Amino acid sequence: MPYNKSKSTKRFSFGLNRNPTAKKAGSNTLTIATQGDVSGRYSSPTMSLSMTVKEAQALQHFLNENLSVADSGPTI
């Protein structure tokens, strides 16, 4: 059964599309897109990044390791 989920913030839109029965390349993707900013506060133009779910899981693992709550390193 296909799974589609999306979430938006002031600066970004996130979309996840999964189809466990699909065998076609690119059928399981995560997309991150910047939102257009009317006020001009952010200088970057609207852009989009798309990756496979497997690549997104590697990104999630990296972020979980390096952005833990207990981390006493520098904040972003």
pLDDT in tens, 11-70: 899 999 988 776 776 678 999 998 876 666 666 677 899 999 899 999 999 999 998 766
Beta-bridge partner residues of 13: 8, 33
β-bridge pairing 12-18 and 29-34: antiparallel
pLDDT at 11: 85
pLDDT at 4: 92
Q: Which two tokens stand for residue 31?
A: 């997309």
Q: Which two tokens stand for residue 45?
A: 């133009």
pLDDT at 30: 93
Between the two ends of the chain, the Cα-to-Cα distance in Å is 38
CB-based contact 27:17 (threshold 8 Å): yes
